[in-house]
Amino acid sequence: MNRILIAAAAVVLTTPMAMAGPIDSACVRSERGARQAALCGCVQQVADQTLSRSDQRRAARFFRDPHQAQVVRMSKSDRDNAFWARYKRFAGAAEAYCR
């Protein structure tokens, strides 16, 4: 019995805890995301692999204000254009991976 408890404790202590990132948090708080927590988590996993934390925070704002995505997309700023290219790669990867 003690061996089972020790083994279970070792598994719990060595398993990484999933932490919600900015994309996941914004997605879950969104109207559609509240019903699709697993999808939000998947999209966050893709974001962790493809976007910097700063880009994730910026992209998360699109959930609250989708018009901002259009503003960034239409911007003539080099910084915005570079971000938009990274964001499009992320969105394509999330769409393919999180079906």
67-94: pLDDT as tens digits: 999 999 999 999 999 999 999 999 999 9
pLDDT in tens, 50-60: 999 999 999 99
Q: What percent of the chain has pLDDT over 70?
A: 81
Residue ranges per domain, the chain? Answer: 20-97
- φ and ψ at residue 30, rounded to 5 degrees: -75, 165
Residue whose structure tokens are 């995505």: 69
Judged against a pLDDT cut of 60, whether residue 30 lies above it is answered with yes
Residue whose structure tokens are 């019903």: 35
What confidence score (pLDDT) does residue 19 get? 65
What confidence score (pLDDT) does residue 31 get? 81
Buried b / exposed e along 2-11 (16+ C-beta atoms within 10 A) = eeeeeeeeee
Q: Nearest-CA neighbor of 55 among 46, 64, 47?
A: 47
Mean pLDDT of the chain: 85
Burial of 64 (0-12, 13-18, 19+ CB in 10 A): exposed
pTM: 0.77
What confidence score (pLDDT) does residue 35 get? 82
By three-state DSSP, how is residue 21 classified?
coil
